[in-house]
Amino acid sequence: MRYEVVITCALDGRYNRAPIGIYFKDNWVKLHLYEGSHTYDILKREDYFVVNITSPYLIAQSVYDDKGDYSTIEYSDIILPYLSDAYKIYVVKIVKRRLVDLRDEYGDSKLMVIQGRILLERDINNPPLMPYSRADGLIVEMAVLYSRLNIVDREKREEMVKRMEEYFKIIKKVGDERYIRLGEKFLKSKSPTIL
Ligand SMILES: Cc1cc2nc3c(=O)[nH]c(=O)nc-3n(C[C@H](O)[C@H](O)[C@H](O)COP(=O)(O)O)c2cc1C
């Protein structure tokens, strides 16, 4: 099973957050990073990062910018940022990096496969016991499409924007104000210079 989390890391004192898919096995994690993101650049050099288990809304919001609400955790002299609203965090040390050339529906790209060992886990906030809302799944799907708009050709981008608009229609029916505002942001900043 692949899970969606928020990875937080730091370079030269600047904090970065990004939603990323991750596989867990015992004390190990594995993730695939596409070239071009700050997370890719940072984790090419830095050996430590934090896995944040968060709400779907925070996963989606984290793709938009790095202006999160951060706290820090210290692990043997290393200070790492995590999201203050996370439910749970894992401090991870990278033990293996593998660079792979990839060709998929989004074109040619470079991928860095990272294997890391969990050094520490900590509960941060109690997750609220909430009924499922379709807005949760849909806002995350909108975030995934939003994050890929800049790496596809015009035809694919138009098709993806259509899908985002369909998801947004439903979000407007089932989501609250926060979800609607975030969905609007994704649609408004859909690379106006390119489209
Ligand atoms: C739910 C979700 C899952 C994602 N999973 C990945 C992933 O596994 N690998 C990746 O490189 N990008 C993934 N992305 C895209 C990155 O989050 C996106 O490129 C982000 O803007 C990177 O931020 P950064 O430049 O601050 O690192 C995902 C996005 C979403 C919304």
- Write out pLDDT tens, residues 139-167: 999 999 999 998 888 899 999 999 999 99
Domain residue limits, the chain: 3-123, 134-188
Given phi > 0 = left and psi -120 to 50 = alpha, else beta, which region is 76? left
- Please tell me the distance between residue 89's alpha carbon and the centre of ligand 1 in angstroms: 18
The highest-level CATH class for domain 3-123 is mainly beta
Crossing angle for the helix pair 154-174 and 134-148, to the nearest 10 degrees? 160
pLDDT tens-place string over residues 35-72: 999 999 999 999 999 999 999 999 999 999 999 899 99
Average pLDDT, the chain: 94
Which atom of ligand 1 is nearest the CA belonging to 143?
A: 31
Which atom of ligand 1 is nearest the CA belonging to 144?
A: 31
pTM of structure: 0.95
pLDDT tens-place string over residues 94-143: 999 999 998 876 677 899 999 999 999 999 999 999 999 999 999 999 99
